[in-house]
């Protein structure tokens, strides 16, 4: 014992049951023995249930303090069914787009007394599935998924078993499930129309990989705006692919070179925008730019970056709220919620065509 605290030291505790390094904790049984009461009485005190005299309660509390008891929720879950935790599978926690989304989901979870288990799929469908199933094995009550893959039939038994599920940012593949999206099509169409309104006709589109729903939708928006203005799209102006700086830089440089370069670029997401801004900064002529997703400090660049902003936090909040509504038993049919985007003019999208 440590004389000052009366607490067992690490070494002593470890020695007590050397065969079990981590399960080595006081249980309700231990507390009951120490307090001289029955197991169920301890359970009542720990869970704040009525029917315990103040005196008994005090004795139990003392035993809990002395032993450093903490209820084992794993065991509790096993009996109760619910884990009070939800899972969030997204592409990359380090992407500034997902930070606020993730935080919003966490806030809603917290308001419902649930913890958040977080995982990044790194845009890999297998990894997404692996993560989701690991979460299901932990018996999370619900899942918020930003899908990487396009086939989610593997979730059918889970959903049938009562795991609440909401997809965000992109719809589920081959199953019918709730989904919360931004209006990628409309946002991109408006952004490109904005460039056209400022006199551009040769407009480039650089987007994410074509297997990603938002990439396709935004490209569709681009094509719609071009068509509305009767501008035939030269396929050399369109580039989809991974969003790492090298690929985007090459794509941008290609469509900005040659005899008939584009005079404006529409960037398909925040990662693309950042790289395109860098490329444009190194040019000696002004090229207009509108980006999908807002980015920090976009207002302070010269020119400011005009963007089609989506509200990542609102996306997360809406999804999480739907999730808990499912859990609260309001089992409506799966729904598709689409949040509007907002064009923010800061200068780069209002530049006229150069040369």
Partner DNA sequence: GTGAAAGCGCTAACAC
Partner DNA sequence: GTGTTAGCGCTTTCAC
Do the strands 203-207 and 238-240 form a parallel or antiparallel pair, or are they unpaired? parallel
Tell me the closest approach of the beta carbon of residue 100 to its own copies, in angstroms: 4
Could you tell me the sign of the dihedral formed by the alpha carbons of 209, 210, 211, 212, in that order? positive
1 scored as a contact of its own copies (CB under 8 A): no
Q: Which of 29, 58, 110, 278 binds DNA (CB under 7 A)?
A: 29
Q: Which of 2, 9, 16, 40 binds DNA (CB under 7 A)?
A: 40
Beta carbon nearer to DNA, 19 or 296 = 19
Could you tell me the sign of the dihedral formed by the alpha carbons of 247, 249, 251, 253, in that order? negative
Q: Which of 6, 18, 48, 50 binds DNA (CB under 7 A)?
A: 50
> How does DSSP classify residue 229?
T
Which tokens is 305 given?
Answer: 């970056």
Interface stretch with its own copies, choices 73-81, 191-199, 247-255, 283-291 (CB under 8 A): 73-81
161 scored as a contact of its own copies (CB under 8 A): yes
Q: Which of 102, 243, 306, 348 binds its own copies (CB under 8 A)?
A: 102
Q: Is 154 exposed, middle or buried (0-12, 13-18, 19+ CB in 10 A)?
A: middle
Q: Which of 78, 197, 242, 283 binds its own copies (CB under 8 A)?
A: 78
Tell me the closest approach of the beta carbon of residue 211 to its own copies, in angstroms: 22
Report the alpha-carbon distance of residue 82 to residue 132 in Å, rounded: 17
283 scored as a contact of its own copies (CB under 8 A): no
Residue with tokens 């396009």, as numbered in its chain: 150
Interface stretch with its own copies, choices 48-56, 69-77, 187-195, 244-252 (CB under 8 A): 69-77
Beta carbon nearer to its own copies, 23 or 54 = 23
Report the alpha-carbon distance of residue 173 to residue 330 in Å, rounded: 23
Q: Which of 34, 41, 165, 221 binds DNA (CB under 7 A)?
A: 41
Contacts 24+ apart (CB under 8 A), 256-262: 256/204, 256/283, 256/287, 260/202, 261/202, 262/202, 262/203, 262/204, 262/237, 262/287
113 scored as a contact of DNA (CB under 7 A): no
Beta carbon nearer to its own copies, 209 or 331 = 331
Beta carbon nearer to its own copies, 193 or 305 = 305
Residues sharing a CB contact under 8 Å with residue 213, sequence separation 6 or more, in sequence order: 150, 170, 171, 184
Vertex 243: Cα angle to 241 and 245 (nearest 5):
120
Vertex 119: Cα angle to 214 and 181 (nearest 5):
25
Of 82, 151, 150, 92, residue with least CA distance to 118: 92
5 scored as a contact of its own copies (CB under 8 A): yes
Beta carbon nearer to its own copies, 219 or 274 = 274
Q: Residue 100 binds what, of DNA, its own copies, none (CB under 5 to 8 Å, by partner type)?
A: its own copies
Distances (CA, A) of 193 to 188, 203, 210: 8, 10, 22
Binding residues for DNA restricted to 62-101, rule: CB under 7 A: 69, 71-72, 75-76, 78-80
Count of chain residues binding its own copies (CB under 8 A)? 73
| Binding residues vs DNA (CB under 7 A) | 23, 25, 27-29, 36-41, 43-44, 46-47, 50-53, 55-57, 69, 71-72, 75-76, 78-80
């Amino acid at each position: 014992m440590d004389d000052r605290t009366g607490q067992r030291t690490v070494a002593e505790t470890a020695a007590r049951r050397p065969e079990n390094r981590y399960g080595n904790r006081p249980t309700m049984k231990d507390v009951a023995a120490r307090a001289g009461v029955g197991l169920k009485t301890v359970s009542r005190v720990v869970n704040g249930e009525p029917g315990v005299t103040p005196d008994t309660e005090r004795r139990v509390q003392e035993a809990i303090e002395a032993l450093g008891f903490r209820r084992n929720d794993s065991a509790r879950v096993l009996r109760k069914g619910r884990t009070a935790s939800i899972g969030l599978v997204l592409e990359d926690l380090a992407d500034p787009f997902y930070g606020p989304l993730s935080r919003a989901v966490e806030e809603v979870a917290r308001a419902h007394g649930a913890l958040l288990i977080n995982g990044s799929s790194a845009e890999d469908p297998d990894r997404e599935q692996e993560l989701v199933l690991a979460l299901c094995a932990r018996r999370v009550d619900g899942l918020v998924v930003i899908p990487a893959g396009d086939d989610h039939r593997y979730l059918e038994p889970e959903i049938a078993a009562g795991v609440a599920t909401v997809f965000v940012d992109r719809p589920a593949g081959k199953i019918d499930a709730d989904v919360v999206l931004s209006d990628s099509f409309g946002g991109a169409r408006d952004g490109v129309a904005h460039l056209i309104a400022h006199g551009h006709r040769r407009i480039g589109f650089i987007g994410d990989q074509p297997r990603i729903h938002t990439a396709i939708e935004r490209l569709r928006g681009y094509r719609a705006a071009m068509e509305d203005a009767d501008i035939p799209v030269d396929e050399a102006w369109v580039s989809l692919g991974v969003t790492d700086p090298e690929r985007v830089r090459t794509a941008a440089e290609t469509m900005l070179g040659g005899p008939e370069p584009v005079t404006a670029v529409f960037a398909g997401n925040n990662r693309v925008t950042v790289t395109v801004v860098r490329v444009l900064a190194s040019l000696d002529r002004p090229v207009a730019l509108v980006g999908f997703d807002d980015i920090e400090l976009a207002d302070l660049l010269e020119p400011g970056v005009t963007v089609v902003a989506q509200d990542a936090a609102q996306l997360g909040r809406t999804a999480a709220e739907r999730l808990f509504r499912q859990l609260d038993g309001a089992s409506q049919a799966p729904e598709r919620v689409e949040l509007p985007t907002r064009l923010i003019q800061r200068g780069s999208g209002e530049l006229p065509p150069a040369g």
